[in-house]
Each structure stands twice: as structure tokens, then as C-alpha cells.
Structure 1
């Protein structure tokens, strides 16, 4: 059993595909299957069940081995850094991110890594919170950045950067514009422009405005929500960072109403997965940009409790 075999096993176990593991590791598929077979022979037990249509799944032994493999790979990376000194970050980091974070928060992060560590390729994959969290669980994403009220995600470690302010906005000529107070009951009587399902603040909105009499219009994206709101089609609920320029320009007007529950900017990654220097550096830089203060690792806090 060697580190190369463990690396290949961890990748195949995460992706549940020998061909995708080969593509990500830049190996021939025959090399992947050969390494897996060698590891199985060394351990004397099957780690994968081969299904029809080239599909695979972990056997009970494979599921037991995976967390040990991830810990060994992480320790090996730490040992290399301790003995040879930190290497320049390189390779590819796949980051799932919600639209509001990608559009309004990530430019300084991308600029930093582009100039400081040009050998590291950051790839942003947009999606709803539910989609990108699922991508991290399945191993198609290394990390995910999202805004959600929930900070505990099964099988994942969560780094919380802090609360993310949400604001209800309308066009300047909307019937609610300029009112000194707006209640949830009043909001329930006017059309609400909601982002697509799967976003944390969409679920918040649905819980708060249950029993509404006016329609909930699904606007899809942050930008379409802003445009529809400016056109007078309804009330938009969006992260404050996404509408700051529109508020300053007078295109949109804030309402004196805030959702009763907080949502949090956060980063999630698979629990016990190896955290190389690229991942650690990315988390540090994103924490600096999003909060300006040390972040909290919810998954590890819960495990220690």
C-alpha cells in the first residue's frame, strides 16, 4: 500500500468513477484500475463493487478505508511542507459559489491568486446553495461558498465568515417606497420577487411570508431580481452587497423591514478530506475578504463538543 494508490483510491471513492478519477489525476484509466487492484490485493479485500454500465460503489471495507486514506494523505502533505518547506500553490481548485458571492465578493480573491500564485487555477462553478453543497459531498467540487441560514451540513465542515445582511428593496415609485414601517403582513399582500429555489434566503422568505395572498414570482438570478424590482414588478429580497450600487444610484429603495432570522456567508468542504496549501490559503484569503476577522469551523466545533 503506497501513497499513490491511496491518492487514486480517494479520488475514485469520492467521484465513484474510475474514468473521472483518471481524468482528474491525468492518468490512463488502466493505471487507475491497476492501482485500485494493487491496493485491494495488498489489503486482501475488495474496496469497490463493479456495477453494470461501468458504475462503481464502495464496499463496506471501502467505506471504512476512506476516512483513513484522507487522513494519511493530509498527514503526508503536512510532512512534505514541514521537511521541504511550503511549495508554490499549483493545480486546480474547483469552487462552487452562489451568484451574489461570485459577482460581488470574489474579484479581490481572484486578483490576489492570479498575481501571487499564477500556477494555481481557480475555477468558479455557480449554482444554488443546495446544488453546490451536493457537489462538495459528491466530490465534483473541492469547496463551496454560500449564503444560508443553516450552518451545519451533514458530512461537511463549515467555516462561517459572519452574518450576511439582507435587504428588501423596491423601485422608487412602488407603493411601499418611503413608508416609515413595513410589516411582514403588509409584505404578504404585494408581489415578491424571489430567487430560484435552493437559495437559503429564498427558504427564509417562504417561511416568513406563509399564507400570503399575493404571488411569489421566481426571478431566477440576482440580476434579474434587481431588474424586475427596478421595473416595479414587486419587492426583492437580496444580499445588501448585491444592491449597494443600485441603492446609491437611486435605482432601488430599501424598505424598513429585515427578515427575523440571520443568514451567514460560509465555506463548506468534505469532512476529513486532505486540505493542501491551496485549500488553506484560499480559506484564509476568503475569510479576510468576507469578514476581515478569524473564521469559525463549525464542523470541527461540533465534533469537539
Structure 2
């Protein structure tokens, strides 16, 4: 089995499209098709079912995929070892989210940028299910998750820190400075980012469990959500790290309500994936810099 055929097979299996695979590999589509057929011919099996304009892996393709990825990863590691390069190098695609990229990861990203310039780091903003799916498919090498659960089917993960949440509002909000319970939040004007954020979804479930109708005014970013809260449009539950500056300056106040759930910021990768040296280094530095910044997980 030629390595280039396995690389092409892996890409097609990841994106499930000959056209997209050709674009990402910078091949003509006919080259991708012929390479996959050459691999099928050498193995004596069909690796994909062709369903009109769609394709899917056959059982043989499913069995081959983890071996193909191991061969590709071992080949890359062997090249690095033979080259004898002391400086870590390679591409690294990381799934992340706005709250982490903007407020937790700058020290880690700055460290990598200056210390390991040959590591080509690409950040992709996705959340929850999208990040987990991209990791399982091999589209991402690593992915940051902010979840209540710490076990994810098909993935391995390490907890970096507990992620405190804060319910915030403008200083003159009716709930500011007084004690209240979850029932008092039902019917309030609620501000949030898009669905899919774990803290927003868990907050919604908690309010609905109190027999309340929950309506969120949705904003595209955390920054927009904070500005709306500071302007008195409503209250919002956000990671504490994202509102620390506003709480310190007084444009927002923390309301005395603690969520009955706990989120943990985690770093995850596909189960069984052999992590290249530069990826392992990123995991190690994330554990050190993110965990140290927030105390033990």
C-alpha cells in the first residue's frame, strides 16, 4: 500500500466527498478517484459505497481507516526523528470557542507562537457536538470542550480546569443586590449566545424544570452579550473569566445565584490516535498554562 494512496483515502473518508478531498489535497478530482480505485484494487475490496452524489465507507473501509491513520501518523513521526530536528514542527488544527480563545488561551497561544514558530497552528471556532464530531472524523487534531461531562464516546480528554460561571446584569437591574431563587429568574429578560453552548443549554434546562417559559435574546458573540447586559437589556449566564474585567470596573454586577451544574474546560482528541510530538507538546503546555492560571482542576 502506497502512503500517498492512504493519505488520499484518509482525506476522502474524513470529508466523505471526492470533490472536497481533491480541493483540500490540491489534486484534480480524477486523480483522487483513480488513487482510491488503485487502493481498492490492491486490497481487493471496495472501500466506499457510491450512492449517487454521496459516498460512505464500506465495512472494509471502516476497518482500514484506523490503520491508515496510524501508518500516516507513524510515517510523519519517523520523518521527524530521522531528520533529527530538535525544534518541534508540523501542522496542528485545534477546535475551540470564543470564550476560551479570547479569555483563557492567549498565554498558551503566545507561548507557542514565540517558542515553537515551526508549529503551524490553526484555530477553528466550533462548539459542543461540532467539535466532538470533527475530532472523531480526524478533521481536528485537538479540541477544547467546555462540558459538564468528562467522558465522551470515541474521544480521550484531559480536564484543564473547572470553569466558574457568573450570572450578571447591569448595576441597576431589579435583581441586583437582593436574594432570590431560580423561580425568580423565570420570566426575566435573558441574554445569551447561540444555542449549543453548554452553559446556555444547561441554564435553559434548569429554568424549564421550574415550569417556566424561557425566551433568550440571542447575540452572536460574548462581547455583544456583555454589552447588552451592561445596557440593561437583561441578565446573562457567562463564564466568569469572560466578565472579570466588567465586574472589576462595575459596568456589570454578579447576581447571587449559583448554577446547580459544574462545567470543566477540557482538551480532547480521538481515542487511539497516536499524537505526534508537537501535538503532545501542545497538550502538555495547555495542561500547565491553563491549569496553573485557574488552580487545580
Unaligned runs of 5+ in 1: 294-305
| Structure 1 residue 249: Cα displacement | 0.6
Distance 1:233 1:110, change over 3 A: same
CA contact (8 A) 1:70 1:272 kept: no
| Structure 1 residue 196: Cα displacement | 1.3
Please provide the CA RMSD for this pair.
2.5
Report the equivalent of 1:276. 276
| Structure 1 residue 9: Cα displacement | 2.0
TM-score by length of 2: 0.87
Report the equivalent of 1:303. none
Cα distance between partner residues in 2 of 1:278 and 1:28: 31
Report the equivalent of 2:198. 200
Unaligned runs of 5+ in 2: none
CA contact (8 A) 2:204 2:214 kept: no
Matches within 5 A, 1:193-232: 193-210=191-208, 211-212=211-212, 215-232=215-232
Worse overlay, 209-218 or 263-272: 209-218
Report the equivalent of 2:91. 92
CA contact (8 A) 2:105 2:290 kept: no
CA contact (8 A) 1:165 1:240 kept: yes
Report the equivalent of 1:242. 242
CA contact (8 A) 1:91 1:120 kept: yes
Alpha-carbon deviations, 1:192-244, whole Å to 9, x = none?
22221111001110121112256433233211211111111221100011001
Report the equivalent of 1:105. 104
Worse overlay, 60-69 or 70-79: 70-79
Cα distance between partner residues in 2 of 1:212 and 1:218: 18
Report the equivalent of 1:64. 63
TM-score by length of 1: 0.85
Distance 1:218 1:265, change over 3 A: same
| Structure 1 residue 87: Cα displacement | 5.6
Report the equivalent of 1:117. 116
SS at match of 1:256: coil
Report the equivalent of 1:38. 38
CA contact (8 A) 2:207 2:214 kept: no
Cα distance between partner residues in 2 of 1:88 and 1:37: 38
Report how many aligned residue pairs link the two structures. 291
Distance 1:125 1:214, change over 3 A: closer
CA contact (8 A) 2:49 2:57 kept: yes
Matches within 5 A, 1:1-305: 1-53=1-53, 55-80=54-79, 85=84, 88-179=87-178, 181-210=179-208, 211-212=211-212, 215-292=215-292
| Structure 1 residue 34: Cα displacement | 3.6
Distance 1:107 1:169, change over 3 A: same
